[in-house]
Amino acid sequence: MEDNLIWCRSEILRQSKAMVPVLSPMAQFGLNVFEGIRAYWNMSESQLYAFRLDEHLRRLMDSCRLIRIEPPHQPAEITRFFRDTIKANDFRCDTAIRMTVFGDGEGTWNSSEPVSMFIAPIARERTSIAGLQGKAACVSSWERISDNVMPPRIKVGANYINGRYAHLQAQRDGYDLPIFLGRDRKVSEGAGACLFMVRGGTLITPSLTSSVLESITRATIIEMARASGLVVEERSVDRTELYLADELFLCGSAAEITPITSVDRFILGNGEPGVITVGLLEEYHAIASGIDPRFPEWRTPIY
């Protein structure tokens, strides 16, 4: 593991030196909210662009609000720390950044303070389009958490244990990954990514009231696709629609776009990543890295 420089409790230090107390609400109860962000290296401009940083910071604030913790810093300040941390590492390559606000010190699941924060970047290449492989998914028998139980809308560390049950079960059963149904038995999302399908040339994704994270990549893909003239529907999705889809993919800041080529062993299309899926991934990389100049408001330059 690389021992990168991270920003933790207002200090830049080696990751191996950053510690969390064993009796903290973070360590015992998963009391944290976080963001996973990518930054894309643009070789011709010698620039690194953080993708949709403002939207990630807005969601981080929403997550704090909903779990009733006071964010230790505001977005403008965090943007400065974010830049300083990446610059301290002198990353001039694709980078993935974890940004976490957590219950620090000693306390329990209902503690509200002390609250601390870290920002941890690692060098991480974007998905290789040449090596893109379709994944085999199953519809999980585990149910997605729901708004009145553990709201999936926000990014809380403890929410991921729901994803863990489904993911490990799917792998034990011989699949690559699970797709969750919600309380209403309609399709929600993957264990750590949102879902889109293509049917008859239309791009369809479960609505934001389908027990999904308010995903930034989901919003990006909807906007990108509409700008290219694709019809996009946000609505509730039945399980059997997955089996009949021409194309299917998961999306997220870390995963970018992951093609799914079978669901419960129903082969989708010709069993290869679909042309719309691959086209969207190419467009996503071009926009995120600034090779495609559209949507400049989505890119925050680091240098």
Q: Does 97 bind ligand PMP (CB under 6 A)?
A: no
Contact by Cβ (8 Å): 41, 90: no
Inter-CA distances, 137 with 127, 167, 176, 204, Å: 19, 10, 6, 18
Q: Which of 154, 180, 153, 152 is nearest to 166 (CA)?
A: 180
Contact by Cβ (8 Å): 187, 195: yes
Inter-CA distances, 58 with 35, 41, 45, 54, 257, Å: 10, 23, 28, 6, 23
Those residues whose C-beta lies under 8 Å from the C-beta of residue 124, and which sit 6 or more positions away, are 38, 94, 95, 96
| Residue 246 beta carbon to ligand PMP: minimum distance, rounded to whole angstroms | 22
Q: Which residue type is seen at 286?
A: A
From 115-123, 213-221, 222-230, 272-280, give the range in contact with ligand PMP by CB under 6 A: 213-221
Which one, 97 or 117, has the nearer CB to ligand PMP?
97
Which one, 115 or 216, has the nearer CB to ligand PMP?
216
Q: Does 215 bind ligand PMP (CB under 6 A)?
A: yes
Q: Does 69 bind ligand PMP (CB under 6 A)?
A: no
Q: Contact letters (x/-) for ligand PMP, 139-178, by CB under 6 A?
A: ----------------------------------------
| Residue 115 beta carbon to ligand PMP: minimum distance, rounded to whole angstroms | 21
Near ligand PMP in 25-64, by CB under 6 A: 36
Catalytic residues: 155
Q: Does 189 bind ligand PMP (CB under 6 A)?
A: yes
H or E element in which residue 60 lies? helix 53-66
Contact residues toward ligand PMP (CB under 6 A) are 36, 189, 192-194, 213, 215-218, 252-253
